[in-house]
Each structure stands twice: as C-alpha cells, then as structure tokens.
Amino acid sequence: MRVPRFDAAGELVHDGPLIGAALTRVLASGRFIAGAEVDAFEREAAGFLGARHAVSVGSGTDALTIALQPAADRHPGGEVVTSPLTFAATASAIVRVGLRPRFADVDPDTLTLRPDLAAEATGPRTAAVLPVHLYGRAVDVTALRSAVGPGTPIVEDACQAFGARDAAGRACGTLGDAAAFSFFPSKPLGALGDGGLITTGDAELADEYRLIARHGCREQYRTERVGFNSRLDALQAAVLRVKLARVDQGRRRRAQIAALYAARLDSVPGLRLPADAPGHAWHAYTVRIAGGRRDTVLARLRARGIDAAVQYPVPLHRMAPFADPRPCPVAERACAELLCLPIWSGLGDDRIDYVAQELRDALRTAPVA
Ligand SMILES: Cc1ncc(COP(=O)(O)O)c(C=O)c1O
C-alpha cells in the first residue's frame, strides 16, 4: 500500500467543481492582481478567525518578514526570541529584516516555545517574540504574554495553524500583536500554489503592512516608504475562498485521524505520542522514537510505501546561518527523535490502520542504537 505524506489532488476531490467555477469566474473577470476576489478573501478570512484586519501577501515567508518589519524599524539590529524547532523561514524572516534570532528552548510535551525560557531570553535588545504554533498546536500566548511583559510585540508564526485554537477557544492569528499564515498547499488552509496572510488587531500596523507589501504606495507611483511586491493572486484568493468554507471540516477529520492513530499506537513500547489539545489543527501528527532508532524505523516505513517525514532533523541554532552555541537540549533531542506520520483530511481509515501496524512492526524489529 502507498501512503503519501499529503495528497494535494485528493484534498480537492470534494471541492473540484466549486474550485473550477471560481477559477472560471476569475478568468472571465480578467482581474488577476488585487480586486474583488482578494478583498473578499481578506474579509472572509478575517471574519473566520475573528481578526480585525487581514492583509494578504505572496507567501508565509513574506507574511513573517513584513509582520516583523515595524519591530525592526523600532529596534534596528535587535533580537527576536523564537523557537529553534521550526522551519527555516521563521529565522530567515528575522534575519532578512536585519534582526537576529535569539533561540529559547521548547517544552518537551508541546514542542513549542517555553514562556519562562522566552522571558529569560528577553532583554533590552529584544525587538519581538515570535512563537511558532508548531504542527498546528496553539502556543499558550496568554502565558507567554504574562511571562515576557506587556511592552514586547508578539508576532505569531501561525503558518501551520490556520483554524487552530488555544485552550480558551481563541483562534491562532488573534493571540499576539500580529500573525503570519502560509497557504502552501499542504497547510491547513492550502492554495494551489503560494500565498500568505498577516492578521492584526491594530489598524495602524495593518496599514503599515499593506504599504510594505505594495512598494510603499498608498497612491499609485507615490512611494512613502521602502517596501517590496508581495501579493496574493486573485486566482489563489478565489480558490482559498472555496476552501475556507471547509477548513473546520478538514480540522475535525484530522483530529479524528489523530485520535485513530492514538488509539492504535497507545502503549507501544518505545513510542511517545503527541499531546492532544482541544483546538489542535493537526497539520502534522508527530511521534517520538528514542534510543537512536528513529532513522531505522523511518527507512522501514519508507520501504513499506509510507511517506513518513522528519520535520525537522536539525534545530535552527545548529544551522550555519543562525548558529548560536547556547544549547537548547529539548529541541536538539526532539530533532533526533521525532517522526511525522501521514495526515491529511482525505486519509482513509484503512491507510491509518496500515501505518499504525507497520510502525508497530518497525519498532518491534528495530535494534536500539
Ligand atoms: C512554521 C513555518 N513558518 C514559515 C513557513 C513559510 O511559509 P511559506 O512556505 O508559505 O513561505 C512555513 C511553511 O513552510 C512554516 O511551516
């Protein structure tokens, strides 16, 4: 049996005709940049999340970069406290606006930024704190806010967390001062290409983001500040409007898949399951395998047609562009142990059974390193 990590075409099965109609509508309009589809998507996404303002951009990386720019303007050369257990885009965005990442370790259960360690890492050089809702699990931003104090901007990396909610039921993207989302196809809300969104409750920030993403122009050909070009295409906006209607349904199915994995893998020796949380978006289902056996297990799963993945094998503070000798032992250990199992809303129960059975078998036979 083949179990891909994600099936972008399979995700479209239910929405195919609606997406076809949306694309045809945009083609007929001849308006491919900005316009009604993009405006409507921004409004509808903001409404869904409960965010006051939403600014669409070209990717999650752009969303992070733009969302950090006001903090960089206020603290040139300053630091952004963030997690080392994330995709490189989180730290690249920090560096691209002239700031430096300052890594604080993650919690061993949630694998997200620990508020107390984030607070320890903040100081006069801190320009912002950037928690990552890793795998679609909401960081406790309320705890983070009280740990770091009121004056420090909190920018959420919500790229993996569209539709995720915290313990109080508040949507990721409304928890900090601003948030960045990615619409990469495999994300909880995925486009048919690249796309991104910045949300904020602050009208002035939203205005600033829009200016940065539109070459600093409020009026055509009158640049007020240095910016660049970052836009969500009208075609992608139209697709995202269709898919937005099913975001919660997709999240519920992934939560069901997570529960099925948990039931089938409960008490398997040598396996640690991800901690559940009510509003988890389950962008990834990440187990942990200790004892140096993870790579053997991964190779065996791949040989059996299961596209499991290591997301991520190296923490960012151990990568040359972001190198920092300060240890983050929990993240380092997690990178050696974690394994992401296939999860997407169209994954059928038969394939979940197969993955669980193969994982149990692989663990039984893999020798401890
Ligand atoms: C945590 C995180 N941050 C940032 C990004 C960047 O998003 P994009 O690929 O849309 O630029 C991603 C997506 O891959 C991500 O997973």
Domain ranges of the chain: 10-244, 247-365
Inform me whether the pLDDT recorded for 368 exceeds 90: no
Q: 247-365, what's its fold?
A: Aspartate Aminotransferase, domain 1 (3.90.1150)
Catalytic residue (one of 187, 214, 241, 254): 187
How far apart, in Å, are the Cα atoms of 233 and each of 62, 200, 236, 240? Answer: 14, 21, 5, 10
Split at pLDDT 50, 70, 90, the class of 12 is confident
Calculate the average pLDDT of the chain: 96
pLDDT of residue 10: 80
Active site residue 243: no
Q: Is residue 196 lining ligand 1, measured as CB closer than 6 Å?
A: yes
Question: Quick one: average pLDDT of 257-269?
Answer: 96
pLDDT of residue 153: 98
Split at pLDDT 50, 70, 90, the class of 296 is very high
Residues in the chain: 369
Q: How far is the CA of 158 from the centre of ligand 1 (A)?
A: 9
Q: 10-244, what's its fold?
A: Aspartate Aminotransferase; domain 2 (3.40.640)
Of the candidates 52, 33, 32, the one whose C-alpha atom is nearest the C-alpha of residue 198 is 52
Inform me whether the pLDDT recorded for 369 exceeds 90: no
pLDDT of residue 343: 97
Q: Which residues contact 30 (CB under 8 A, 6 or more apart)?
A: none
Lowest mean pLDDT among 4-18, 100-114, 268-282: 4-18
pLDDT of residue 319: 98
Question: Quick one: average pLDDT of 136-154?
Answer: 97
Question: Quick one: average pLDDT of 128-134?
Answer: 98
